[in-house]
Amino acid sequence: MLPTIPELARLCGVSRGTVDRALNGRPDISDKTRAHVLKIAQQNGYVPNVLARSLVTGKSNTIAIVVFDLRNRHFAQMINAIQQSIFQAGYFSYICITEKDRKRETQILRDLAARKVDGIIIIPINKSPAFEEELLKLHVPTVTVSNRLSSKFSYVGADFRLACYEGMQAFYEKGYRNVSFICPCADEQDDVNAYAQIQRAKGYASFMNEHPEMHGSLITSYDYCDIILQSVHGRQEKIGFFCSSDYYALNILAFSRKQGLDVPKDFGLMGFDGIDTLDYIEKQLSTIVYPIENVGKSAAELLNRLIANADAPHDVFVDFAFRQGNTL
């Protein structure tokens, strides 16, 4: 349907090599022939076949972004940032959603290798050594984000542990001596990679360890709203809840609205991530801002360097920041 190089060659009365020279701005061709070929190509709506080109060059100019969700604001923001970076470099990107299905993730990675992607940015949901080995065997430059795999893979993230430790300090300074940490993901099966979440829980635990005067617990149940309701009931002492993700905090705020609870009067609340949905709600949620746009940008740049075999840091840690709202 669309013309190919041999076709243009016939139309122009020159050889395929000459057409190639004209089309791709290569030297060793007269201005006249070049102009002619270009005109004919244009007239016939010539579109190069990138697949054929990739087959011979070995470069597909495609990268893949593998995440387990898209509805979460966080991922959309990150993907957006990555796209900005790579588009200029001429890359297209596959977006792949694993839905926290480990098998699916494995399959997707295999498929991506079959499609000869030049690189992969992934928030992995697997973590087994077998998985790592498979990923390595694909021989595709890979950057892991948020969820760490092992030192065999480049990583972009933040010091989540320290971040939560500092979040706890904020509670402490505000006079809270009873703070629980809400982190349902930490409870998932052993074989799921929840690194980022677990590090956050560890930061909490480490603060609690160092402060025996503190009370509170790690809440790994998805019924955290009910648990909060019970904990708050008839209590005098200041009590706080630190969520490992803003989404939990948003749910809690919606819940307390319905229950007639007042934050921070009835309990203090803090989130994590700093998603942009927070801009629209009535309270300013205190949270730890994990600058996901920077993460995306860094991951893209790192991957670029890996692909180009250029010098690149193995890991990149972005700065987080505590943001004071009015829920503490």
| Residue ranges that bind a copy of itself, judged by CB under 8 A | 1-2, 45, 47-52, 54-55, 60, 62, 70-71, 73, 75-77, 79-80, 83, 87, 92-97, 110-111, 113-116, 137-139, 250-251, 253-254, 257, 276-277, 279-282
Shorter beta-carbon distance to a copy of itself: residue 71 or 103: 71
Q: Should residue 315 be labelled a site residue for DNA when binding is judged by CB under 7 A?
A: no
Pairing of strands 321-323, 286-289: antiparallel
CB of 61 to DNA, least distance (A): 11
Question: How far lies 289's CA from each of 97, 270, 319, 320, in Å?
Answer: 24, 11, 9, 5
Cβ–Cβ < 8 Å for 251, 291: no
Phi then psi for 182, rounded to 5 degrees?
A: -100, 115
Partner from a copy of itself, DNA, none contacting 96, C-beta within 5 to 8 A by type: a copy of itself
CB of 65 to a copy of itself, least distance (A): 8
Half-sphere exposure of 66 (CA within 13 A, CB side): 30
Say how far apart CA 300 and CA 288 lie, in whole Å.
Answer: 23
Q: Should residue 14 be labelled a site residue for DNA when binding is judged by CB under 7 A?
A: yes
Q: Residue 242, SS3?
A: strand
Say how far apart CA 11 and CA 90 lie, in whole Å.
Answer: 30
Stretch binding DNA (CB under 7 A), from 23-31, 64-72, 214-222, 243-251 = 23-31
DSSP 312: -
Tokens of 75: 């991922």
Phi then psi for 171, rounded to 5 degrees?
A: -60, -50
Q: Should residue 308 be labelled a site residue for DNA when binding is judged by CB under 7 A?
A: no
Residue of 39, 43, 44, 57 that binds DNA (CB under 7 A): 57
Residue of 25, 32, 103, 260 that binds DNA (CB under 7 A): 32
Please write down the long-range contacts of 56-59, taking CB distance under 8 Å and 24 or more positions apart.
58/116, 59/118
Shorter beta-carbon distance to DNA: residue 5 or 185: 5
Residue of 39, 44, 55, 326 that binds DNA (CB under 7 A): 55
Q: Should residue 56 be labelled a site residue for DNA when binding is judged by CB under 7 A?
A: yes
Partner from DNA, a copy of itself, none contacting 83, C-beta within 5 to 8 A by type: a copy of itself
CB of 132 to DNA, least distance (A): 24
